[in-house]
């Protein structure tokens, strides 16, 4: 039995774990539905700290580590198709039983591309694809201008919409490592052209959008409906780009309401 990250574990410790260890999981005895969580660009599995406690026994939470990840973003050089294939291989049997996928920001793109890849190959799909804080994949990526920013400008911009805790700004070593990774993963998103094909998914798509998100307007979140052939719903919740930590109660009420009927099956 492998260990799941403990709610509230420090982000730095989680980031420094073996990058080949993709899913931190335990025996799925907590409920019949597994929730696989894909974190934002530059983040870690610590993004999901507190989620298991908030969702309770209705779901078995598995925070997913991006495969082949290093501080310089080496995993990004294989491109999205290679990254999705590695992700599918590493998750293995977790995808052969009922599961949900939640991806936040960059994680939303990975969750979408993984679901589409599996649909195209006739493999089991998530009971629901859950995406948050990301525009529909056929739209331009909101951070595409980041490549033109200096490190100082990029840090200031990330601080503006809450991507970096202000307390970390003075930690220059951590920042220099993290900014390189953020740049690489933003570039991965900005270079995605496959979403423009508008191929619809046969599973339901549930989109979460922060009411005050400066990067993803409501219209860009609603445009996911063009990719949803199995049902679509837009969930507007309080907060900005990182609404799961800015408006926890509202977000988990909505997410729990989606999970509960599936966990009862």
The reported pLDDT for the residue numbered 211 is 97
For residue 96, the tally of other CB atoms under 10 A from its CB is: 10
Is a pLDDT exceeding 60 seen at residue 229?
A: yes
Which CATH class name applies to 11-139+195-263?
alpha beta
Is a pLDDT exceeding 70 seen at residue 28?
A: no
CA distance 265 to 247: 29
CA distance 66 to 123: 21
Ordered by start, the domain boundaries in the chain are 11-139+195-263
Q: What is the mean pLDDT of residues 224-252?
A: 95
- Banded model confidence at residue 122, pLDDT cuts 50, 70, 90: very high
Helix (H) or strand (E) holding 113: helix 106-120
Print burial letters for 201-240: b (CB count within 10 Å at least 16), e (below 16).
Answer: bebbbbbbbbeebebbeeebbbbbbbbbeeebeebbbebb
CA distance 90 to 70: 17
Residues whose CB is less than 8 angstroms from the CB of residue 43 and which lie 6 or more positions away in sequence, other chains included:
11
The pLDDT tens digits for 137-156 are 999 877 777 777 888 888 77
The pLDDT tens digits for 66-91 are 887 765 556 766 788 889 999 999 99
C-alpha dist (Å) from residue 141 to 53, 192, 193, 195: 32, 9, 10, 11
Contact 230, 202 (CB under 8 A): yes
CA distance 156 to 162: 10
Is a pLDDT exceeding 90 seen at residue 62?
A: yes
Chain length of the chain: 265
Contact 246, 240 (CB under 8 A): yes
Is a pLDDT exceeding 90 seen at residue 111?
A: yes
């Amino acid at each position: 039995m492998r260990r799941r990250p403990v709610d509230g574990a420090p982000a730095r410790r989680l980031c420094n774990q073996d990058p080949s260890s993709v899913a931190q999981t335990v025996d799925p005895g907590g409920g019949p539905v597994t929730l696989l969580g894909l974190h934002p660009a530059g983040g870690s599995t610590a993004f999901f700290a507190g989620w298991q406690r908030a969702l309770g026994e209705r779901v078995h939470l598995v925070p997913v580590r991006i495969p082949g990840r290093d501080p310089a973003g080496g995993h990004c050089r294989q491109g999205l198709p290679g990254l999705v294939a590695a992700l599918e291989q590493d998750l293995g049997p977790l995808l052969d039983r009922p599961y949900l996928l939640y991806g936040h920001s960059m994680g939303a793109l990975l969750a979408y591309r993984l679901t589409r890849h599996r649909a195209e190959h006739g493999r089991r799909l998530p009971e629901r694809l859950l995406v948050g804080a990301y525009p529909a994949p056929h739209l331009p990526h909101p951070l595409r201008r980041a490549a033109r920013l200096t490190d100082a400008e990029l840090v200031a911009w990330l601080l503006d919409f809450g991507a970096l805790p202000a307390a970390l700004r003075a930690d220059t070593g951590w920042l220099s490592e993290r900014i390189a990774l953020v740049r690489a993963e933003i570039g991965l998103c900005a270079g995605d052209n496959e979403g423009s094909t508008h191929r619809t998914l046969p599973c339901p798509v549930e989109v979460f959008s922060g009411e005050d998100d400066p990067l993803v307007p409501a219209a860009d979140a609603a445009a996911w409906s063009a990719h949803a052939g199995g049902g679509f719903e837009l969930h507007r919740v309080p907060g900005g780009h990182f609404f799961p930590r800015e408006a926890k109660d509202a977000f988990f009420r909505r997410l729990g309401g989606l999970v509960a009927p599936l966990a009862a099956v």
